[in-house]
């Protein structure tokens, strides 16, 4: 795959005049084959950052460039060629079949008065196979489990054929097995050259994927190029609770766990 770069240049955002800034003068960049995990407590602005990157919310200052294109100044269509979005949970009320729903990813390549052709459905079937959900092809999305719906949403983003995927809480509503499937999919996509930014509540997932990390502190976001740069003090400050970060001989990597109960969620 050719080179790709998302570069964010000192953006600031608040939900209105007088409201505190969600982040100020934020700069970072993401390249092909990068995974960036945005960590932080509920409500510190992880999802807000994603929706600013998608230009759902206009930033107050700064620019977002994608391969040198200023996203704030191009059309919705141009943006959709560069970034695909995987929503937190695709509506439990979506009645379309999995195949039809994934084919919606071809909207950009489909004329106003036409619909996706054979070629797009062939690509759809390839994506279904890659995600290992071929057997769900003709089922309505609303009859699927949360994990299956998440994979279908990823499938739709893949058909959009962009190099950057933004995923909002891809694992939050899932049981452990489905979390593993989604995380494996993210890793697989990274090795294929996609750039991925996702939000999560769980620092473990960043350690598992060995991804880059953005720690959302409310007001600002600190970036770490490697999970090994994370220290337990930083994590404890972010999550405002006692945590334990150590190298485990059993799994041969650093793990982050809750040390013990009985401290009543003592705020540090």
CB 213 to another protein: min, Å: 24
223 binds another protein (CB under 8 A): no
Which one among 37, 49, 83, 102 touches another protein, defined by CB under 8 A? 83
95 binds another protein (CB under 8 A): yes
| Nearest-angstrom CA–CA distance, 101 and 97 | 6
53 binds another protein (CB under 8 A): no
Our CB check for another protein shows the closer of 110 and 241 to be 110
CB 65 to another protein: min, Å: 18
Phi then psi for residue 112, to 5 deg, are -55, -40
Q: Would you give the distance in Å from CA 64 to the centre of its chain?
A: 17
| Nearest-angstrom CA–CA distance, 87 and 80 | 14
| Nearest-angstrom CA–CA distance, 141 and 119 | 22
Our CB check for another protein shows the closer of 50 and 208 to be 50
CB 242 to another protein: min, Å: 37
- On whether the CB atoms of residues 45 and 216 are closer than 8 A, the answer is yes
* CA-based max dimension of the chain: 62
- On whether the CB atoms of residues 228 and 247 are closer than 8 A, the answer is no
- On whether the CB atoms of residues 149 and 89 are closer than 8 A, the answer is yes
What mask of x and - would describe binding to another protein in positions 148 to 187, judged by CB under 8 A? ------------x---------------------------
Tell me the two tokens of residue 222.
Answer: 């600190």
Site for another protein in 98-117 (CB under 8 A): 100, 104-105, 107-108, 110, 112-116
CB 240 to another protein: min, Å: 30
76 binds another protein (CB under 8 A): yes
């Amino acid at each position: 795959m050719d080179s790709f770069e998302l570069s964010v240049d000192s953006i600031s955002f608040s939900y209105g005049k007088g409201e505190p800034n969600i982040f100020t003068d934020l700069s970072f960049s993401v390249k092909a084959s990068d995974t960036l995990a945005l960590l932080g407590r509920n409500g510190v602005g992880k999802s807000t950052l994603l929706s600013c990157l998608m230009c759902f919310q206009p930033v107050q200052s700064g620019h977002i460039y994608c391969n040198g294109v200023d996203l704030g100044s191009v059309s919705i269509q141009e943006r959709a060629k560069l970034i695909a979005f995987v929503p937190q949970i695709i509506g439990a009320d979506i009645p379309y079949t999995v195949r039809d729903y994934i084919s919606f990813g071809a909207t950009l390549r489909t004329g106003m008065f036409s619909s996706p052709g054979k070629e797009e459905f062939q690509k759809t079937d390839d994506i279904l196979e890659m995600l290992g959900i071929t057997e769900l092809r003709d089922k309505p999305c609303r009859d699927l489990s949360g994990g299956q719906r998440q994979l279908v949403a990823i499938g739709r983003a893949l058909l959009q054929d962009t190099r950057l995927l933004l995923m909002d809480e891809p694992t939050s509503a899932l049981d452990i097995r489905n979390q593993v499937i989604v995380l494996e999919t993210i890793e697989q996509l990274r090795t294929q050259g996609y750039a991925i930014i996702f939000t999560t509540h769980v620092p473990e997932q960043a350690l598992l994927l060995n991804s880059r990390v953005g720690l959302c502190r409310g007001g600002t976001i600190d970036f770490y190029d490697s999970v090994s740069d994370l220290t337990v003090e930083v994590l404890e400050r972010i999550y405002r609770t006692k945590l334990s970060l150590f190298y485990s001989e059993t799994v041969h990597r650093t793990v982050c766990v809750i040390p013990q109960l009985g401290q009543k969620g003592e705020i540090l």
